[in-house]
Every structure is written in C-alpha cells, then in structure tokens.
Amino acid sequence: MRIPRGELRRSRVVDDAAAVLRAVLDEELTGYVVFEPQDALLLGETTSGVVTFEDGIPVLAYDTEREVGGRDGLEGFAVTGPTRAAVHAVDAAALADAHEVEAFRIPPGEPARVLAGDERLAERTVDAAPAARREEGRDQSAVEAFLADADAIEEIRSEAREEARARASEWGLDDVLADDARDSAAIEPGTDSR
Amino acid sequence: MVEAFAVASGKGGTGKTTSTLALGMALAEDYDVTVIDADTGMANLLFHAGLDDADVTLHDLLVDERDAAVSDAVYERFGMSVVPCGTSLAAFEAADPGRLRDVVAELAADTDVLLLDSPAALGSKSAVLPVVLADRIVVVLQPTVPSLSDGLKVQEYAHSYGTDTAGVVFNRVRPDENVDKIAEQAGRYFGGQTLASVPESDAVRAARREGKPLLAHAPEDPAADAFREAAARLDVRDGDGRDVAERFKSAVVPERI
Ligand SMILES: Nc1ncnc2c1ncn2[C@@H]1O[C@H](COP(=O)(O)OP(=O)(O)O)[C@@H](O)[C@H]1O
Ligand SMILES: [Mg+2]
C-alpha cells in the first residue's frame, strides 16, 4: 500500500493506543499514525501497522510487517501494552487515492475497539463520523468476529456480573439478587447455561 | 397473572418501545395484556400509543402522597391496557422508583401478560427495577457490536436478579444483512431463543408519527409479521397469580435512591 509521506507531528511511547486515538479524534487529524507495539519488540518481533485518518476518523488499517490490510491487518498490530505512536499529518487530497483501496478500509470504531478494547471511544468515534461512514460500523464480518471471540465475550459478561452485584448493594437491592449472584464464589467463569 | 416480561436492550434506539407495543398487540390476541412504560426517565411510549395528552400517568403513581388510583393511569388502547409515563423531568425526580413494585404488583393481579418497556441505561436503581421485577427479559438487539455488547450486559444484570432471558429480537435488520449467522453465534451467549428478525421498515417510523403501534398502523408490513412471529414463539408460562403478587411484594426494598 502506498501512503504519501506526511509531516511528523510527534512520536512517543504511550501506555495504550486509546490515548492516541482520542487525541487524533479531538484534533481532527488528517494523516496517519504508525503504531509499533513495544512488547512485541521485546519478544524479538517487529510488529507495526498504520491507521489513516480523515478529520480524526479512522479510514484504513494496514499491517506493514505482514502486509495485510483492513480488519485482519488491524489485528496484526493489536498487541496490548505500550506502543510507539508516530503521528503524521498529510494533505487530504494526497490521501484520497490511498483511501480508495476498499479492501483496506475499516469501520470508524474498529481501531478503538481492536487496538485499545475501548468500546466507549469506539462509539464516540462512530458518533463523530460522517453519516456515510457510520453505516460502515454495521460491517457484518465485524459482528461475526466479535461474537466468535468467546473469551472477550466472557470478559464483558463477567465484568457486567460484578458491576451488577456491586451496584445491587449500593442500591439496597442485595436481597433480591439471585442466590448464585449473591454468593460470588458460586459464579464460574464461562457459565452460560442460564 | 401469567408472566411479566421486561423488554430491554441496554442501548437506546434499538426499538424497545416499538417492540413492546408490537409484542403487546400480538399477544393481546390470546392474552389479557398490560403494557407499562417503565422507562420513567425517558418515557416515550405515550407518543407511540397516541397518549400524548394522558392526564394521569405512571409518574403520578410513583410519588409519595399520591391521590391517583392505579386504574386512573390505565388506558384501554389497541386491545391492550396501556400505562404510559409522563415526560416531565420534575415528575421523574419526584418519583420514588421503589414504588414501581407496588404498582406492578397491583397491575399484575388482573392481567395475563405484563410487558415493561425498560430504560436504556443500567446506571440507577430506577433503571434496573423493571429487569429486577420481571420474570424474564426480551432482549432487543440491532446486529451491531455495540448493541450486542450492551445486550449482553443487560442480560447479566437480569440474571443477577434471577430474571431469565425469554429470547432475543433482532430489530432494524437491513435487506443486505443476513442475521442467521449472527443469531446462531449470539445464541451461544443469550438465553432463550431468537424470536424474530425484524426488518428496517419505513412503516415503523410512520406508525410512530401517527401515534399508533406498528401492528395497528401497518398490520400487513413485513416488520409487523416478524413481531407477530416473535410473539408466537414467546412461550408464555403459566404461573400462579398469587405467587407473582407475593414475589413483587417481597421483591424490592422500598427505599429511596
Ligand atoms: N424496524 C424498524 N424499522 C425502522 N425504524 C425503526 C424500527 N424499529 C424502531 N425504529 C425507529 O427507531 C427509533 C427508536 O425506536 P424506539 O422503539 O423508540 O427505541 P427505544 O425504545 O429502544 O429507544 C424510532 O424512531 C423508531 O421509529
Ligand atoms: Mg423507548
């Protein structure tokens, strides 16, 4: 993939990709960010990827090591932990050609979701996107991929269970908790029988 | 009283109110149905049911020294008993959410099926009460990641209070979307069954503008068919009316938030 070289705005190691995505959204960057997960480096792997933006909204993702684009590309450099993020500004006109590559395009909320696991930021990004781009969030393959990740789903569920339990006591609803919810020890991760 | 369902989603705009009234009308063919707008913070069922000018609403039943009887807030519309909620913020603030239990208990005493249109949020006692009080939830989802994720959360809240999942309605499904695969995958995490896949339809919005439930405004619309199918799949359980009233009585600590 050819992305026109941009003007480097800043390059630093951040604890998580969400901070960069948020900043880029707020400053409405048109350009790209190169991500280099640092933990992958420690393991002796080079991992890096690029996400391009139009007015702060993600457009393309590309794994520069594996040379894969789109959602699969994004997953290639979704490594938790600190990442070096180099933010570049590019002229919108100069990016237009690259942005035509349909196969590399991603729904606007995906980088926040995949790189940072930040559903809130994903939603904020989608809300800020132009109407036509918001539709892309309904990428069926993204929904299927989400549902295929049983571990991530179990995490959402167990977090919600804990939250429900904590709030029940806040609200004086302890008494009406189901027996197995009251006794936290009885909850086994992965239970989805009910 | 047979069973109380909370129609829930965790996220706004998925079609809870639309679904509540559509399922209510479909179930009213076979049951005595009462529909309650339990979304007391963002009530909008009244607009969907042509009750914008209702004098007495649920809000009037939730205040400390109320002079309205429960029956004053019940309106016979479209073959159902409808209990709308007002939209005034002041009334919401004056309302004691704990009182919803008594109101629901009283309404439960002489109806077969109770449908609670539930709030989109989970952040307050009044928002979770419908899910606490119901026997089972019907989860209304759009085939998107945020909606599924919020639906999973609401289900966990419900299960924590011993409220099971009756099933899932996929709503606002586009013609180019095939929800079969998504429904099959989602079925691994959601309880109950996939009740229906309701297409995105202009008739739904038109019905809302008319202040009529979809099944009254456009009974022939494919979306109406889908909701009727969902209602038919909902295996309403025979419960002992007395048990339910008792359970509501002991259910919620009547304490202010
Ligand atoms: N199947 C559908 N097709 C088209 N529009 C729909 C459909 N279901 C709901 N809507 C519209 O979406 C909006 C939100 O629906 P509503 O039932 O009020 O959702 P909720 O109660 O979950 O906030 C309304 O304008 C409604 O007319
Ligand atoms: Mg509603």
Q: Summarize pLDDT for A54-86 with one digit per residue, the tens.
A: 999 999 999 998 888 887 788 888 877 789 999
Rounded Cα gap, residues B156 and B10, in angstroms: 11
B193 touches A at CB < 8 Å: no
Q: What is the predicted pLDDT for the residue at B234?
A: 94
Amino acid at A169: S
Rounded Cα gap, residues A117 and A81, in angstroms: 12
Domains and CATH numbers, chain B: 3-250 (3.40.50.300)
Q: What is the predicted pLDDT for the residue at A186?
A: 38
- Tell me which residues of chain B have a pLDDT lower than 70: 1, 11, 239-257
Rounded Cα gap, residues A75 and A145, in angstroms: 11
* 3-class state of residue A137 by DSSP: helix
Q: What is the predicted pLDDT for the residue at A163?
A: 93
Rounded to an integer, the average pLDDT of A142-162 is 92
The sheet carrying B33-37 orders its strands as: B75-77, B80-83, B33-37, B113-117, B3-8, B136-141, B164-173, B193-199
Look at B159 and A122 and tell me if their CB atoms are within 8 Å: no
The CA distance from A174 to the nearest CA of chain B, in Å, is: 9
Per-domain residue ranges of chain A? 7-138, 141-187
Residue in B201, B205, B210, B229 to alter for ligand 1 test, most ligand atoms within 8 A of Cβ: B205
How much distance in Å is there from the Cα of B80 to the middle of ligand 2? 18
Residue B113 CA: distances (Å) to CA of A1, B5, B13, B101, B241: 59, 8, 24, 16, 11
A92-122 as b/e, with b when 16 or more CB fall inside 10 Å? eeebeebeeeeebbbbbbbbbbbbbbbbebb
Q: Which tokens in the block code for residue B20? A: 């509540």
Judge whether residue A13 has pLDDT over 70.
Answer: yes
Q: What is the predicted pLDDT for the residue at B110?
A: 86
Kindly state if the Cβ of B208 falls inside 6 Å of ligand 1: yes
Residue A86 CA: distances (Å) to CA of A6, A9, A32, A93, A105: 11, 8, 8, 21, 20
Q: What is the predicted pLDDT for the residue at A157?
A: 95
The answer to whether A177 touches B161, Cβ cutoff 8 Å, is yes
Provide CB contacts within 8 A for A72, sequence distance 6+: A63
Using pLDDT thresholds of 50, 70 and 90, give the confidence band for residue A97.
confident
| pLDDT (tens digit per residue) in A106-123 | 989 989 988 987 878 988
A111 touches B at CB < 8 Å: no
Kindly state if the Cβ of B13 falls inside 6 Å of ligand 1: yes
* 3-class state of residue B81 by DSSP: strand
Provide CB contacts within 8 A for B180, sequence distance 6+: none
Burial (CB < 10 A; 0-12, 13-18, 19+), residue A169, is: exposed
Look at B128 and A167 and tell me if their CB atoms are within 8 Å: yes
Judge whether residue A167 has pLDDT over 70.
Answer: yes
B185-201 as b/e, with b when 16 or more CB fall inside 10 Å? bbeebbbbbbbbbbbeb
The CA distance from A170 to the nearest CA of chain B, in Å, is: 9
* 3-class state of residue B166 by DSSP: strand
The two beta strands, B3-8 and A83-89, are unpaired
Kindly state if the Cβ of B17 falls inside 6 Å of ligand 1: yes
What ligand has the least distance to the C-alpha of B19? Answer: 1
**Minimal CA–CA distance to B104: which of B199, B3, B194, B180?**
B3
Whether this model's ipTM surpasses 0.90 comes out as: no
Using pLDDT thresholds of 50, 70 and 90, give the confidence band for residue A191.
very low
Rounded to an integer, the average pLDDT of A130-137 is 76
A147 touches B at CB < 8 Å: yes
Kindly state if the Cβ of B38 falls inside 6 Å of ligand 1: no
Look at A175 and B164 and tell me if their CB atoms are within 8 Å: no
Which chain A residue lies closest to B176 (C-alpha atoms)? A140
The answer to whether A145 touches A71, Cβ cutoff 8 Å, is yes
Q: Which tokens in the block code for residue B10? A: 């965790």
Rounded Cα gap, residues B51 and A47, in angstroms: 59
How much distance in Å is there from the Cα of A48 to the middle of ligand 1? 42
Per the confidence metrics, is the pTM higher than 0.90?
no
